[in-house]
Amino acid sequence: MAFTSSIFLFVFFPICLLGFFLAHAVEKVGSVFKKLRLSDLFLVGIGLIFYGWASFDGIFWMVGMIFLVFLLGKLIEKVPQKTPARLLAVLCSVLVVTLALIYFKYTGFLVTTINQIFSFSLSVKSIAAPLGVSFITFSAISYFVDIYRQDAKAGNLLDAALYLSFFPKVISGPIALWKDFSVQICWADRKLDTENFLWGLNRMILGFAKKVILADVFGLLISQISGNMSGGIDIITAWGMAFLYMLQIYYDFSGYSDIALGLSALFGIRLKENFCFPYLSQSIGEFWRRWHISLGTWFREYIYIPLGGNRKGKNRTFVNLFIVFLVTGIWHGAGWNYILWGVINGVFSVLERMSKNKTWYQKTPAVIKWAVTMSIVLLSWQVFRLSSMSEIGQYFQILFGVVHFDTVNFTWQYYFDLRMVFLMIVGTVGAILPGLSPVQNCWNRISKNKAVFCISQVLLLGLGVLAVMFMINSTYSPFIYFQY
C-alpha cells in the first residue's frame, strides 16, 4: 500500500488514527489496560495489514521474522557479557538474517554471474523477495548488535514486533536503530501533544507534495523519453533527462521520508531526519552525510566502526571507507550497475579524504567544489538508474556527443515545455534554497510570529489540496526505494 494512494489517504490513514487514539484513551482508564499496551498492539496489527496489502504471504514472512529476531535477541542477552560465546551468538544471529537477505535478493544475480564466468548452465527459479527485505534485515542486525554492545536491552515480543513492523518505516525506512527506537517504546518518552501532531501533519503534506507534484511528474517524462529513445535522442534531451532523474530520486525518496517521519510523529515516535539538503554538498563525503542519513548512520555503526574506522592508520581508513561504499552499492540491488555506482562513490570519497589536507584543495573555492560534486552526483545517478552496462555505455556516449542520431523523432522542445521547465526550476530552488543558512535563520525568526504561522498553515493546506488533485488525476507511481 503506497502512502500516495487513495486507499491509504482516505481509508487506511483515518482508521489508523482513530484506532490508535481510541486504544490510547482506553489505556488511560486503568492500569490493567495500560499494561496490555492496546495502542502498541493496534500498531503491530495495522502494521501487518499494511505490509501484507501488497502480498498476503508477506504477513507470514514478517511474523516469522519477528519471532526469529525476538528469540535470537533473547539468546544474545542471556549469554554472559564479554565472552567468546556472546560474540559467537551475535555473529550467528547476524549471519542467519544476512543469508536470508542474500537468498531472496541476490541468488539469481550470483547464479547468473557464476554461469557467465565459468560457462556453467546452473538454473534457478525466480524468487520473489519480501517487500522491504533490505530495510527489515538491517533493522534486525541493529537489534542484535545493540543488545550485544549493551546499548539497549532486548525487548519483549511486542517490543520486537513493534520495532520491525512499525508501518511508517517498514518498507523503505528511515532505518531506525534499535537503541534509538527502544527508548521511545516507553510512553513517558512519547510526545502526543498538539504541537507534535501538527508537525506530523505538516511534514506529511510536504512529503506528499514532493512525491506527486514533482517526483511523479519528472518520472513520467523520463519514462516517455526512454520509451522514444529508439527514434533517436538529442544531446540536450539526454542531459535534461539526467537532470530530471537527479531531481526525481531526491523528491521521491525525501518525500517518502517526510511522510514516514510525519506519520511516526502522529503516533508519538520521532524518527531521525533522513535528508538534509544533499544538493548543497561540496564533497561526496558531505553528500553522504546529507543523503539517506539513516543508511549512512547504519553503515558507520555496524560496518565502518567494527572494521576499525579511522583508528588504524590512513591506509586502513581508506580501505574501510571504500568497503562501506562497495557494500552500499551491493545493498541497493543485485546488479553490476549498483556495484559500479558504489565503487564510483567509494573512489571519490577516498580521493577526497586523501586530498582534504592538501593546500590546493583547501584553497579551491567552495563554488568549484560544489560544481564538481554535483557533476559527479549527476553522472553517478545515471549509473544507478540504468540496469545494464551496455545501456550505461550507450547513454554516456550520447551525453558526451560520441554517438549522434541522424534523425530524431522528438527533440528537446517537445519534452521540455514551459510547464516542465517551471517545475524543474521549482524543484531546483526547493532542493537548495531552504537549506541555505541565511534562509533558515530568517525562517526561524519570522516563523514565531503568529501571522506568519497562520499564513504558512494556509499555504500548506493549499499545497495538500493541490497534491490530492495531482494524485487523483495521475496514474499510480510506486516510490523508487520500494524495490530495495
Active site amino acids: 332
For 448, residues 6+ apart whose C-beta sits below 8 A from its C-beta are none
**DSSP secondary structure letters along 389-402:** HHHHHHHHHHHTTS
Residue 99 CB neighbours (<10 A): 11
DSSP summary character for residue 82? T
Contact present, 242 and 261 (Cβ < 8 Å): no
SS3 category, 281: coil
C-alpha cell at 88: 559467537
- Helix intervals (H) in 228-292: 235-266, 284-290
Dist CA 79 CA 164 (whole Å): 23
Instruction: Tell me the DSSP string of 285-330.
Output: HHHHHHSSHHHHHHHIIIIIHHHTTTSS-HHHHHHHHHHHHHHHHH
Cα(129)–Cα(298) distance, rounded to whole angstroms? Answer: 22
Exposure string (b/e) for 110-134, b if CB count within 10 Å is 16 or more?
eeeeeeeeeeeeeeeeeeebbbbbb
What's the CA gap between 239 and 233, in Å, rounded? 10
> 267: buried, middle or exposed (CB in 10 Å: 19+, 13-18, 0-12)?
buried
CA–CA dist 198, 193 (Å, integer): 9
Q: Compute the distance between CA of residue 65 and CA of residue 393 in angstroms, rounded to an integer.
A: 40
* Residues 164 and 88: beta-carbon distance below 8 Å: no
